[in-house]
């Protein structure tokens, strides 16, 4: 099969790439293109195959099928060192017997074409250390550094090579929450400075939503959706994406379309996109986005329900509300809202609060509350 | 107040010193441990001191009763005889040369083979490892006669090659090296591979430095085994000036004459080089330090 050349502004192009170990298919054929300077996050639960994608691009794993292009070149049969990619590993992978300076300089010393002069190596090492604020620690060994500093050494070692593509395999997952937030900002600053295509693997949706230009959601070896964070949140392609993105998790309810073609949840009838016609008797799944549902005191609320539980988050609270007919919702409320279990809560639904999926879990459309039975 | 990177660094530094300070032991416990240690030292040291004493006595005064621990007068004749009447210097040189060469070559070959078996994917890897493992089980006595014929056929009898080549084929070191290397996380090699390192560079610049303490143990083990090797050198080399210390010293005694003074002097001198080697490398006997490489 002739190699399809991706457009020149595409840094990474994966064409019908798949991976299997014997009969076990861990990644089903998929396509993905990452533009120059783009920050793409691969998001999914553990074991979904996201790290395997990075390893295939790096050349540490062989693709069972398909073509991998880096900076316009087909690299399926190119050695890892010649692929012009740099990788930051989850567990740092620093060379413990070398100082920070030697760790950062290692890729430059290994460079053959062209072989770099010592002065150039020193200069680029200092520059990379400066980008990640490691200059005072250049003489230390990794064991003398904190977790955040070690991760920044790994980052500097990737930066120093000036690769076409950065691959980051859960680089922040070993850090504590506070440091992780700091490092997220540092990483984005570094990305803004060097503007190189970056593929970033994480299972943390907050990382994905805050950092990505585009997010690729993966589950069980299949790509579920590729889109901008806002797109994933407001128009999830399926029930997996709908539940994986957003906190608290979106509750799902299985409903049957009534004989008149209407869809009712609790005592409210949902207004769908006029172009969508549901077959009477069909089973659909409805998801209610917690952050778009708000507890109100007004009487014109979309839903009513009895509060079951209250989760206090500091800035606000989430109430678990029983809507009746077996349906429930997580509803946002003021942090100081005085709601106790058993209280009746009025729930207002903002646009984008309600999503309708077909029986297979694929999104049909968004919905709003049309009318409520009195 | 948010934690800064400097705070974290201080914590990293202080945690080390905190971990080192244990609970103080009670005085009687310390005294008891000293007594036990002193008994152990005495048990190990008395035979050695007796050899020192014997080496400084004339043979005729060896069997006086009660035995004299401190020779009077000190007799240097045993040492003089070793150097004047026997090629003791040659034996020492031969032993050090052969043991040193075997150790260096074995460390090189064993670590390369160990790296291949531990980290490289190739068809038949398990089969090769199993074959090596099986060959460890074959005793040297079963190999000596065929080995003698092979060496004679190659025309290597009475040469250094006869002493150096056969020990290189001992696969035990490969297994030791393999077990050291298996413990190195794959991510380190993957990272080096992406950084542009060749397989040989990964072996030399990443793997070897990380298994250095293990290599010192393997090196000492090989050196000592070779230093005291007796049966094969006895068969492979007949020329007195090509003999190694173990064979040379055993030749100092005959069926009719046991010159204990001479033997003690030879044993004492033979112990000096290996003691020095041990003292030189003992600093390298530290725990394999991978800390900081990966997230613990």
Q: What secondary structure does DSSP assign to B262-295, as a single string?
A: HHHHHHHHHHHHHHHHHHHHGGG------BTTB-
Q: Taking CB atoms and an 8 Å cutoff, what residues of chain B touch A143?
A: 289, 291-292
Which strands form A65-70's sheet, in the order they lie side by side? A24-35, A10-21, A65-70, A73-74
- Give yes or no for residue B218 having a pLDDT over 50: yes
> Is A306 in the same domain as A215?
no
CA-based nearest residue in chain A for residue B289: A96
The whole-number average pLDDT for the span B120-135 is 89
* Domain limit, last residue, from A197, A222, A241: A241
Indicate whether A147 and A68 sit together in one domain: yes
pLDDT interval class at B293 (50, 70, 90): low
pLDDT at B4: 45
Nearest chain B residue to A83 by CA distance is: B194
Considering only CB atoms, which chain B residues are within 8 Å of A174? 295
Half-sphere exposure of B268 (CA within 13 A, CB side): 20
CA distances from B199 to A86, A160, B73, B248 (A): 18, 22, 64, 44
Contact yes or no for A96 and B2 at CB 8 A: no
Of B8, B12, B292, which to mutate for an interface test with A (greatest number of A Cβ within 10 Å)? B292
Sheet hosting strand A283-288, strand order edge to edge: A252-256, A283-288, A354-357, A363-372, A268-272, A263-265
Domains of chain A: total: 2
Domain range enclosing A73: 10-241
| Contact assignment for B194 to A86 by CB distance below 8 Å | yes
What residue in A sits closest to B8 (Cα-Cα)?
A146
Q: Output the pLDDT for position A7.
A: 53
Question: What DSSP designation does A292 have?
Answer: G
CB-count exposure of residue B28 (10 Å: 0-12, 13-18, 19+):
exposed
Q: Is residue A4, in this structure, part of any structural domain at all?
A: no
Does the distance separating the beta carbons of A110 and B8 come in below 8 Å? no
**Which CATH number does B87-284 carry?**
1.10.3720.10
pLDDT of residue B180: 92
The C-alpha angle A346, A348, A354, rounded to 5 degrees, equals 125
pLDDT, position A1: 42
ipTM: 0.80
B185/chain A closest Cα distance in angstroms: 8
Report the CATH number that the domain containing residue A124 is assigned in CATH.
3.40.50.300
Give me the pLDDT at residue B165, please.
95
Within this chain, do residues A224 and A263 fall inside the same structural domain, yes or no?
Answer: no
pLDDT of B10 > 70? The answer is no
Q: How many CA atoms lie within 13 A of A348 on its CB side?
A: 9
- Residue B147 pLDDT: 93
Please compute the mean of the pLDDT values over residues B90-104 and round it to a whole number. Answer: 96
Model confidence pLDDT, tens digit, residues B258-279 = 888 899 999 999 999 988 988 8
Instruction: Looking at chain B, list the stretches that DSSP marks H as alpha helix, in order from N- to C-terminal side.
Output: 5-20, 27-55, 77-85, 88-119, 125-136, 140-153, 160-168, 172-182, 186-194, 199-201, 208-210, 212-227, 231-236, 245-250, 260-281
What is the pTM assigned to this prediction?
0.79
A335 burial level (CB within 10 Å; 0-12, 13-18, 19+): exposed
A232 and A255 belong to one structural domain: no
Write down the pLDDT at residue B18: 43
Walking along chain A (374 residues) 10 residues at a time, the average pLDDT comes out as 57 96 93 95 93 95 95 93 91 92 94 81 92 91 90 91 92 83 87 92 92 95 95 94 91 89 83 84 91 78 84 88 85 85 86 88 86 56
Across the interface, of B3, B201, B291, the residue whose CB is closest to A178 is B3
- Of the pLDDT bands very low, low, confident and very high (cuts 50, 70, 90), residue B7 is very low
Spatial separation of the C-alpha atoms in residues A150 and A175, rounded to whole Å: 10
Q: What is the mean pLDDT of residues B162-175?
A: 91
Boundary residue ending a domain (A241, A271, A290): A241
Do A183 and A228 lie in one domain? The reply is yes
Q: How far B21 CA sits from the closest chain A CA (Å)?
A: 19
The pLDDT, as a whole number, for residue B5 is 42
Query: Domain map of chain B by residue range?
Result: 26-75, 87-284
The reply to whether A332 falls in a domain is: yes
pLDDT at residue B294, rounded to an integer: 60
**Which residue, of A185, A206, A241, is where some domain finishes?**
A241
H or E element that contains A364: strand A363-372
Q: Which of A60, A93, A141 lies nearest to residue B294, judging by beta carbons?
A: A93
CB contacts of B185 in chain A (<8 Å) are 91, 93
- Within this chain, do residues A288 and A228 fall inside the same structural domain, yes or no? no
Which of B296, B290, B3, B8 shows the shortest CA–CA distance to A145?
B8
CATH number at A341 reads 2.40.50.140
């Amino acid at each position: 099969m002739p190699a399809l050349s991706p457009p020149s502004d595409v840094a990474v192009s994966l064409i019908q790439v798949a991976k299997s170990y014997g009969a076990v298919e861990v990644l089903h054929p998929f396509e993905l293109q990452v533009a120059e300077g783009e920050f793409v996050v691969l998001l999914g639960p553990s074991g979904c195959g996201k790290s395997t994608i990075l390893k295939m691009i790096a050349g540490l794993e062989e693709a069972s099928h398909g073509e991998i292009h880096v900076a316009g070149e087909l690299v399926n049969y190119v050695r890892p060192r010649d692929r012009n990619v740099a990788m930051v590993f989850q567990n740092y992978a620093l060379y413990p017997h070398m100082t920070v300076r030697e760790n950062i300089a290692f890729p430059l010393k290994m460079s053959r074409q062209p072989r770099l002069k010592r002065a150039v190596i020193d200069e680029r090492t200092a520059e990379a250390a400066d980008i990640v604020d490691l200059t005072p620690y250049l003489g230390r060994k990794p064991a003398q550094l904190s977790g955040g500093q070690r991760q920044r050494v790994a980052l500097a070692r990737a930066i120093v090579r000036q690769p076409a593509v950065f691959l980051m395999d859960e680089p922040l997952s070993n850090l504590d929450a506070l440091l992780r937030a700091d490092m997220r900002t540092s990483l984005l600053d570094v990305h803004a400075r060097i503007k190189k295509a970056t593929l970033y693997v994480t299972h943390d949706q907050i990382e994905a939503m805050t950092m990505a230009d585009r997010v690729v959601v993966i589950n069980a070896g299949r790509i579920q959706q590729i889109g901008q964070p806002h797109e994933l949140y407001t128009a999830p392609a399926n029930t997996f994406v709908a539940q994986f993105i957003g906190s608290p998790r979106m509750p799902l309810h299985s409903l049957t379309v009534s004989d008149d073609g209407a869809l009712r949840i609790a005592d409210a009838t949902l207004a769908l996109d006029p172009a969508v016609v549901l077959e009477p008797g069909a089973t659909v799944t409805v998801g209610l986005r917690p952050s778009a549902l708000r507890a109100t005191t007004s009487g014109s609320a979309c839903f009513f329900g009895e509060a079951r539980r209250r989760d206090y988050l500091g800035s606000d609270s989430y109430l678990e509300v029983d809507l009746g007919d077996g349906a429930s919702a997580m509803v946002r409320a003021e942090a100081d809202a005085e709601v106790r279990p058993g209280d009746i809560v009025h729930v207002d639904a903002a646009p984008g609060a309600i999503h309708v999926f077909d029986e297979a879990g694929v999104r049909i459309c968004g919905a709003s509350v049309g009318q409520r039975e009195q | 107040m948010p934690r800064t990177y400097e705070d974290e660094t201080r914590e990293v530094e202080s945690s080390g010193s905190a971990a080192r300070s244990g609970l103080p032991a009670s005085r009687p416990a310390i005294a008891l441990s000293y007594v036990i240690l002193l008994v152990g030292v005495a048990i190990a040291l008395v035979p050695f001191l007796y050899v020192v004493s014997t080496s400084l006595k004339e043979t005729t005064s060896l069997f006086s009763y009660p035995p004299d621990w401190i020779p009077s007068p000190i007799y240097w004749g045993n040492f003089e005889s070793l150097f004047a009447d026997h090629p003791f210097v040659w034996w020492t040189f031969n032993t050090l040369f052969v043991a040193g060469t075997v150790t260096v070559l074995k460390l090189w070959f064993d670590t390369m083979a160990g790296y291949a078996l531990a980290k490289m994917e190739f068809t038949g890897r398990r089969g090769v490892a199993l074959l090596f493992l099986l060959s460890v089980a074959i005793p040297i006595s079963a190999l000596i006669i065929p080995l003698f014929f092979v060496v004679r056929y190659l025309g290597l009898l009475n040469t250094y090659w006869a002493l150096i080549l056969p020990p290189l084929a001992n696969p035990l070191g490969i297994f030791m090296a393999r077990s050291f290397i298996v413990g190195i996380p794959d991510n380190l090699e993957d990272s080096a591979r992406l950084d542009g390192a060749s397989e040989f560079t990964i072996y030399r610049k990443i793997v070897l430095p990380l298994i250095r303490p293990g290599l010192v143990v393997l090196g000492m083990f090989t050196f000592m085994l070779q230093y005291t090797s007796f049966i094969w050198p006895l068969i492979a080399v007949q020329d007195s000036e090509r003999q190694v210390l173990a064979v040379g010293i055993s030749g100092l005694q005959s069926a009719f004459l046991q010159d204990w003074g001479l033997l003690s002097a030879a044993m004492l001198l033979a112990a000096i080089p290996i003691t020095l080697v041990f003292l030189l490398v003992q600093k390298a006997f530290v725990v394999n330090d991978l800390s900081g490489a990966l997230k613990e």
